[in-house]
């Protein structure tokens, strides 16, 4: 069984949270920010959306965007098309 988003939705695996800063300072759990970048795991059946993003693309999304979902030990986000801000290449 797998997850297949419907219509204009995208299933995303969020990037892992940063544990340290660039200078090596350890970030405590209370100060960590929610990641706003992830990898596309599946795309809904909207043809325009399928042309924009594909499985494996890295995207940026809004800070409070999407619905969180845990399935088979993996954390996912289900985003609407409007929640996607950019595609990284």
Torsion of Cα atoms, 37 then 44 then 69 then 85, to 10°: 30
In-domain check, residue 63: yes
Instruction: Report how far residue 46's alpha carbon sits from residue 7's, in angstroms, rounded to the nearest whole number.
Output: 5
In-domain check, residue 56: yes
67 beta partners: 78
Tokens of 58: 């890295």
Query: Does pLDDT of 70 surpass 80?
Result: yes
Instruction: Report how far residue 56's alpha carbon sits from residue 28's, in angstroms, rounded to the nearest whole number.
Output: 30
Residue 71 in contact with residue 8, Cβ under 8 Å?
no
Average pLDDT over residues 25-29: 65
Q: State if pTM tops 0.95.
A: no
The model's confidence at residue 64, banded by pLDDT at 50, 70 and 90, is confident
In-domain check, residue 29: no
Instruction: Report how far residue 72's alpha carbon sits from residue 32's, in angstroms, rounded to the nearest whole number.
Output: 25
Domains held by the chain: number: 1
pLDDT value of residue 2? 85
In-domain check, residue 28: no
In-domain check, residue 26: no
| CATH number for the domain that contains residue 41 | 2.30.33.40
In-domain check, residue 25: no
Average pLDDT over residues 13-34: 67
């Amino acid at each position: 069984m797998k997850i297949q988003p419907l219509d204009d939705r995208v299933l995303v695996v969020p990037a892992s949270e940063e544990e340290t800063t660039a200078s090596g300072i350890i970030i405590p759990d209370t100060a960590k920010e929610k990641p706003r970048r992830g990898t596309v795991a599946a795309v809904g059946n909207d043809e325009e959306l399928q042309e924009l993003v594909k499985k494996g693309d890295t995207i940026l999304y809004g800070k409070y965007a999407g619905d969180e979902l845990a399935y088979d030990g993996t954390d996912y986000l289900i985003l609407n098309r409007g929640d996607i801000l950019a595609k990284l290449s």
